[in-house]
Chain A
Amino acid sequence: MTGTVGGCAGPGFGSVPRKEDGRFVRGRGRFVDDIALPGMLHGAVLRSPYAHARIVSVDTTAAESHPKVRAVITGETLAARDMAWMPTFSHDVAAVLATDKVRYQGQEVAFVVAEDRYAARDALALIEVEYEPLAPVVDARRSLDADAPVIRDDLDGRTGPDGRGNHVFDWETGDEAATGVQFARAAHVSACDLVYPRVHPAPLETCGTVADYDRISGKLTVHATAQAPHAHRMLYSRIAGIPEHHIRIIAPDIGGGFGNKVGMYPGYLCAVVGSIMTGAPVKWVEDRSENLMSTSFARDFHMHGEIAADADGRILAIRVSVLADHGAFNATAQPSKFPAGFFGVFTGSYDIAAAHCRVTGVYTNKAPGGVAYACSFRVTEAVYLVERLVDVLARDTGRDPAELRMANLLTPDRFPFRSATGWEYDSGDYPRALRTALEMADYPALRAEQKERRAAYERTGAGTLTGIGMSVFTEAVGAGPRRLMDIMGLGMADGAELRVHPTGTAVLRLSCMSQGQGHETTFAQIVSHELGLPIDAVQVVQGDTDNTPFGLGTYGSRSTPVSGAAASVAASKVREQARQVAAVLLEVAADDLRWDVGTGTADGGNFAVAGVPGISVTLREIALAAHGGLDLPDGVDGQLTASTVYNPPNLTFPFGAYVCVVDVDPGTGEVDVRRFVAVDDCGVRINPMIVEGQIHGGLADGVGMALMELVAFDDDGNHLSASFMDYLLPTAMECPAWELAATVTPSPHHPLGAKGVGESATVGSPPAVVNAVLDAINVRHADMPLTPAHVWRALQGRPIRPDIAIR
């Protein structure tokens, strides 16, 4: 298979069908809950009904006497093993099973191990827990009040500089003084309060594990929904005290992740303890309510943004303050030097002289998390902020939002571009992307239609209103340079190992882990591209810590930018090794050999002697020779194998321009997304079909978040979105037929010119949808989700605050 994409010609690249699909369409995927080991037991978690309560007593007597129950684990059991608390990804600790208090509804209190999953559930009802309810902190904006109940009394006053009990951190970026100067000289300042409400990644497969501890060898095998198997192994070792080399993590097929399966959850650890205690494998799989109530949520950013412009509509500066609700434990999964993730890219795609941002993180009586759901470490919040602010500015100054954007976009000659908050954007052509999107949408015609519809509505009081919304986003993905970026001290570089077998097929071992992104195909294409082998001749191994090199896993759209680069580098190394072997075979100097990648046949590429037609040797021939009796020079190893650890020099910065068209029924507040045009530039596309699929999924996320997805709580801290009846995900009925186009601006520092795309559309689409709805109803701002009620209330001038229960 050959293809030409983005200037990268040769075998390998192109829209080839996926290697993994054959098993999935047959129902032969192997997901965690499909695993059944001999003698396997089943775990279930007892959870807190209260958002905040002191635990007076836990009585497990009745549960333990259930004939099918094999073990009951409480916080006390774990405390005896020094496992009641675990470290989080953000320098905090989190309860595994509660010992002192419960701090959110759905928090883990006890774990039952029983012979079948029904009995395990039955036994939960036999555990008696006496709680002393405490006042909860539900409204993040009240969390720092002097009289707010202190959630983390376990930290004993170590929270916050001035004794503010629920304070987690203050963080700032940018230049406050320089920003102040720009605001002072601005002809116009627009300000807006925005909530990016709490949402949940809700992969269709919930989180789960089968933990299998071998008492004789002392080895622990964990089959788990793990987006980051190697990081998990280190955590299991640290928390459970099992030597790291005795732990094997196997991530089987994963039914979607979106960041939800990055974290370490109590259920995983309890299954491990259960297996240690019973000597049998223990399976634990969440139900949907458990997933929505207790695992990593996303966002929950309360933002105040200000944007300053001169009289010509030139954007001068942006200033932001953020209150970040982190829940009861600070467990955000992000590079540890970035407490607000990559929110610092909030200057977006624009040429802005100065910017400043201050973020305060707080504890509330809600589940921990904050960084998940394809957010690229809070770039989602940043893009939403700036793209809403630009629309507000356009409205306040009577400018067309497309024209205002076009006038302020960074131009291609500015790259590499250092932003006012210190990020170096690698490459981009933003005006081309926006122009393409506006042309595809036929922007002038849409504006004309909008005008007509509004006139008709005003004349008759009936019909729908059309809205046109857009966003131009810049992503920051591929974390990241190890001197800047680590998680729990683990630098975010990725290993890769490639071996070409004697017969000329190959195996590539990766540290990252697919959750549906199609790594088995894309990474085989990378090797094919480098070595000229057929895609089918490359086996990709991932997700098994015993059989893959170390690396940080798949999230933050980092697989192609980091592991993809690693695969490319490893393949280049193999090619250079092959050159040395070929030189011996052909009895010429290595420098006299020219590589021809070929056409993707089983022979692979070949080395030919420069200037001597007809003398060449194929990779397949070289592979056999490399494993044979050839006398190789010093410094050239036999066999054909290479490994590398790729430490990215910078993030990559994919971007895009989106246009969304909606029709709103002002009588009911209902929104119909009529069209969605998405122009994405993620650099070189290895498999355009897969790239487009990633974008489709992210656009649906945007429609979901903008229009319906929300995790809300009532005054008592009760979770109001604990099932798919209440946490609404978009169906095929709410999603239009996405209209896609690509521009290709290669990354200058990635060996393939690729940038990563998994989260682009999730990041870029919500503001386009929100801007479209608000454009339709001619309202300056209203918060997501724009359900019919929210839209109608916004039309009445009384928008609904989304993060607390509707009253």
Chain B
Amino acid sequence: MGVTVNGVEHVREVEPRLLLVHLLRDELRLTGTHWGCDTSNCGACTVWMDGLPVKSCTVLAVMADGRSVRTVEDLEGPFGLDQIQTSFMDCHGLQCGFCTPGMLMTARKLLDDNPDPTDTEIREAISGQICRCTGYRNIVAAVRHAAVAEALGRGDT
């Protein structure tokens, strides 16, 4: 199979039963993507596949054959951190850091689609992802913070 991960194409022989999360973590050693359950409830394993957030514990690696995958490791660009990463740090949107990569990937997609989400829209967007540390308030604040910062960056008023 061949899959493009964070812009790099990887060709691998894999068992059909290999889960995408294990391809990323064990084969490609991209361990930023975590897993916290087996039932697609916690969202720690969220990555993008063909531009959409998916739970990589419930996608077979072979199902990603010919597709593109984006993980948390790709958020930081040549000019520094993505705004959503900076905002999570500024707003204390993380504690143990385990759910953070999945939250970041979902939040990034939300802001790409909806640059000015309400708090309720943010809460809905991350409702498939469990955080045991923050009680979500600062995650919501971080996404709002990023939205405002990006609007300022674009010169929106």
Known A696-B138, A724-B130: A516·B37 in contact at CB below 8 Å: no
Tell me which residues from 686 to 706 in chain A have a Cβ below 8 Å from any Cβ of chain B: 689-690, 692-700
Chain B residues with Cβ under 8 A from A516's Cβ?
A: 95-98, 133
Known A25-B104, A693-B95, A724-B39: A733·B127 in contact at CB below 8 Å: yes
Chain B residues with Cβ under 8 A from A28's Cβ?
A: 32
A125: Cβ under 8 A from any B Cβ: no
Q: Which residue of B lies closest to A693 (CB)?
A: B92
CB pair B89 A17 closer than 8 Å:
yes
A738 to B73 alpha-carbon distance, docked (Å): 31
Known A26-B76, A26-B85, A118-B17: A204·B32 in contact at CB below 8 Å: no
B84 CB → nearest A CB, Å? 8
A456: Cβ under 8 A from any B Cβ: no
B23-46 CB mask vs A (1 if < 8 Å, else 0) is: 001100111111111110110100
B151: Cβ under 8 A from any A Cβ: no
B5: Cβ under 8 A from any A Cβ: no
CB pair B85 A204 closer than 8 Å:
no
B42 CB → nearest A CB, Å? 6
A290 to B73 alpha-carbon distance, docked (Å): 29
CB pair B32 A27 closer than 8 Å:
yes
A205 to B30 alpha-carbon distance, docked (Å): 17
Chain A residues with Cβ under 8 A from B99's Cβ?
A: 204
CB pair B135 A205 closer than 8 Å:
no
Q: Which residue of B lies closest to A738 (CB)?
A: B137
Chain B residues with Cβ under 8 A from A89's Cβ?
A: none
Chain B residues with Cβ under 8 A from A724's Cβ?
A: 36-37, 39, 41-42, 130
B134: Cβ under 8 A from any A Cβ: yes
B131: Cβ under 8 A from any A Cβ: yes
Q: Which residue of B lies closest to A729 (CB)?
A: B130
Tell me which residues from 81 to 133 in chain B have a Cβ below 8 Å from any Cβ of chain A: 81, 85, 88-90, 92, 94-101, 104, 119, 122-124, 126-133
CB pair A27 B33 closer than 8 Å:
yes
Chain B residues with Cβ under 8 A from A30's Cβ?
A: 31
B55 CB → nearest A CB, Å? 12
Tell me which residues from 53 to 97 in chain B have a Cβ below 8 Å from any Cβ of chain A: 71-73, 75-76, 81, 85, 88-90, 92, 94-97
CB pair A31 B136 closer than 8 Å:
no
CB pair B136 A732 closer than 8 Å:
yes
B13: Cβ under 8 A from any A Cβ: no
CB pair B140 A205 closer than 8 Å:
no
CB pair B94 A287 closer than 8 Å:
no
Please tell me which one of the listed residues B36, B136, B137 contacts residue A204 in the complex, with CB atoms under 8 A apart.
B36
A713-753 CB mask vs B (1 if < 8 Å, else 0) is: 00000000001110001011101011000000000000000
B20: Cβ under 8 A from any A Cβ: no
A237: Cβ under 8 A from any B Cβ: no
CB pair B137 A696 closer than 8 Å:
yes
A23 to B90 alpha-carbon distance, docked (Å): 14
Known A26-B72, A27-B71, A733-B127: A697·B41 in contact at CB below 8 Å: no
A397: Cβ under 8 A from any B Cβ: no
Chain B residues with Cβ under 8 A from A729's Cβ?
A: 130, 132
CB pair A693 B119 closer than 8 Å:
no
A614 CB → nearest B CB, Å? 41
A34 to B123 alpha-carbon distance, docked (Å): 29
A693 to B132 alpha-carbon distance, docked (Å): 11
Please tell me which one of the listed residues A24, A117, A515, A694 contacts residue B100 in the complex, with CB atoms under 8 A apart.
A24
Q: Chain A: interface secondary structure?
A: loop
Q: Which residue of A lies closest to B30 (CB)?
A: A27
CB pair A696 B89 closer than 8 Å:
no
Chain A residues with Cβ under 8 A from B156's Cβ?
A: none
B108 CB → nearest A CB, Å? 11
Chain A residues with Cβ under 8 A from B104's Cβ?
A: 25
Chain B residues with Cβ under 8 A from A737's Cβ?
A: 119, 137, 140
Interface-located stretch among A97-105, A251-259, A309-317, A483-491: A251-259
B130-157 CB mask vs A (1 if < 8 Å, else 0) is: 1111111111100000000000000000
A153 CB → nearest B CB, Å? 35
A2: Cβ under 8 A from any B Cβ: no
CB pair A693 B134 closer than 8 Å:
yes
A697 to B140 alpha-carbon distance, docked (Å): 13
Q: Which residue of A lies closest to B119 (CB)?
A: A737
A202 to B76 alpha-carbon distance, docked (Å): 30
Known A204-B98, A516-B97, A723-B39: A27·B137 in contact at CB below 8 Å: no
Please tell me which one of the listed residues B33, B95, B122 contacts residue A517 in the complex, with CB atoms under 8 A apart.
B95
A256 to B37 alpha-carbon distance, docked (Å): 14
CB pair A256 B94 closer than 8 Å:
no
A699 to B135 alpha-carbon distance, docked (Å): 7
CB pair A256 B132 closer than 8 Å:
yes
Please tell me which one of the listed residues A17, A256, A723 contacts residue B133 in the complex, with CB atoms under 8 A apart.
A256
CB pair B97 A732 closer than 8 Å:
no
A184 CB → nearest B CB, Å? 45
B4 CB → nearest A CB, Å? 18
CB pair A697 B31 closer than 8 Å:
no
A685 CB → nearest B CB, Å? 14
Interface centre among A517, A689, A698, A729 (most CB of B within 10 A): A729
Chain B residues with Cβ under 8 A from A696's Cβ?
A: 134-138
CB pair B89 A732 closer than 8 Å:
no
Known A26-B85, A697-B135, A723-B38: A256·B92 in contact at CB below 8 Å: no
A737 to B132 alpha-carbon distance, docked (Å): 16
CB pair B94 A731 closer than 8 Å:
no
A128 to B131 alpha-carbon distance, docked (Å): 39
B90 CB → nearest A CB, Å? 7
Chain B residues with Cβ under 8 A from A700's Cβ?
A: 132, 134-136
Known A27-B73, A118-B17, A723-B41: A693·B138 in contact at CB below 8 Å: yes
Known A288-B36, A733-B127: A33·B25 in contact at CB below 8 Å: yes
A724 to B44 alpha-carbon distance, docked (Å): 13
B88 CB → nearest A CB, Å? 5
A532 to B71 alpha-carbon distance, docked (Å): 40
CB pair A697 B132 closer than 8 Å:
yes
A546: Cβ under 8 A from any B Cβ: no
Please tell me which one of the listed residues B25, B76, B92, B96 contacts residue A205 in the complex, with CB atoms under 8 A apart.
B96
A20: Cβ under 8 A from any B Cβ: yes
A797: Cβ under 8 A from any B Cβ: no
A369: Cβ under 8 A from any B Cβ: no
CB pair B133 A697 closer than 8 Å:
yes
Q: Which residue of A lies closest to B125 (CB)?
A: A732
CB pair A288 B133 closer than 8 Å:
no
Chain A residues with Cβ under 8 A from B92's Cβ?
A: 17-18, 689-690, 692-693
A435 to B76 alpha-carbon distance, docked (Å): 47
A616: Cβ under 8 A from any B Cβ: no
Q: Which residue of B lies closest to A518 (CB)?
A: B95
CB pair B123 A21 closer than 8 Å:
no
A572: Cβ under 8 A from any B Cβ: no
CB pair B126 A732 closer than 8 Å:
yes
A416: Cβ under 8 A from any B Cβ: no
A389 to B98 alpha-carbon distance, docked (Å): 38
A731 to B15 alpha-carbon distance, docked (Å): 34
Chain B residues with Cβ under 8 A from A693's Cβ?
A: 92, 95, 133-134, 138
Contacts A/B (CB < 8 Å), 22 sampled: A25-B72, A26-B85, A28-B32, A29-B97, A33-B35, A34-B25, A36-B29, A118-B15, A205-B34, A205-B96, A255-B36, A288-B37, A288-B42, A516-B97, A518-B95, A693-B95, A693-B134, A697-B134, A724-B42, A731-B128, A735-B136, A738-B137
**B residues within 8 Å of A by Cβ?**
15, 17-18, 22, 25-26, 29-39, 41-42, 44, 71-73, 75-76, 81, 85, 88-90, 92, 94-101, 104, 119, 122-124, 126-140
Q: Which 9 A-B pairs have the closest CB atoms?
A: A27-B32, A516-B96, A24-B97, A255-B98, A696-B135, A700-B135, A724-B41, A27-B72, A516-B95
**A residues within 8 Å of B by Cβ?**
17-18, 20-31, 33-34, 36, 117-118, 202-206, 253-256, 258, 287-289, 515-518, 689-690, 692-700, 723-725, 729, 731-733, 735, 737-738
**Apart from A29-B97, A725-B41, what 6 extra A-B contacts exist at CB < 8 Å?**
A31-B31, A204-B131, A515-B96, A692-B92, A698-B135, A724-B42
